[in-house]
Amino acid sequence: MERKEEILELLERGYATAKELASYFDVSLMTIYRDLRELEEEGKIVRRYGRIELSRKHHLQEDEEKCAFCGKDVDNRFGFTYWLKGRRKLSTCCPHCGLLIYDSVEEKEIDVLLTKDFITCSPINAYEAWYVLGCNISPCCRPSAFAFGEKEHAESFAKGFSGAVMEFDEAKEKMKELMKRGQSVRFEL
């Protein structure tokens, strides 16, 4: 695959800076900047506050995605994405569905697991994210789960909406448990 093509794919996977791309390809920053300039001229990417993003046009297809677990439209603000071996992709609408579908996916098939930080909306590694469960609000599926890149963001969110902070494995188990209990949620956003 041509490097520029591959750059677009990496951006979709959550890469966002020239430095990350340069170290991925093991080339100089100058080389990456040249590729980026071309991609920018072709209208495929935009640069914002030092971060590189796919342009809207390039995102169109993604906007029409449905959650692989519940069938809802995938909202790019809090989607949870499984990149599987062989460049296959499985998207869910929010961390709630992302955590619940985990058991139906072959672990060894998972290449990258990405979710979005609830505050910044930027992609974060789902295995390393902090989750808040048991909140009294739910912007997507119930019971809700929120993901954060920073532990302290998760903690202050949990405090404000009476939830509990946990890591990936715990969140995954807890979500199954909550579903079994059929816990109801008091009100919605």
The yes or no reply on residue 166 touching Zn ion (CB under 5 A) is: no
Residue nearer to Zn ion on the CB measure, 7 or 97? 97
- Among all chains, which residue has been given the structure tokens 């062989």? 86
- Supply 92's token pair: 């869910």
Positions 76 through 115 that interact with Zn ion (CB under 5 A): 92-94, 96-97
**Smaller CB separation from Zn ion, 46 or 119:** 119
Question: How many degrees, rounded to 5, is the angle at CA 169 between CA 89 and CA 70?
Answer: 45
Pick the binder of Zn ion from 67, 126, 129, 147 (CB under 5 A). 67
- Total chain residues near Zn ion (CB under 5 A): 11
The sheet with strand 88-92 has its strands ordered as 88-92, 80-84, 110-116, 123-125
Among 70, 84, 110, 119, binds Zn ion (CB under 5 A): 70
Using CB under 5 A as the criterion, which residues of the chain lie in contact with Zn ion when the complex forms? 67, 69-70, 72, 92-94, 96-97, 140-141
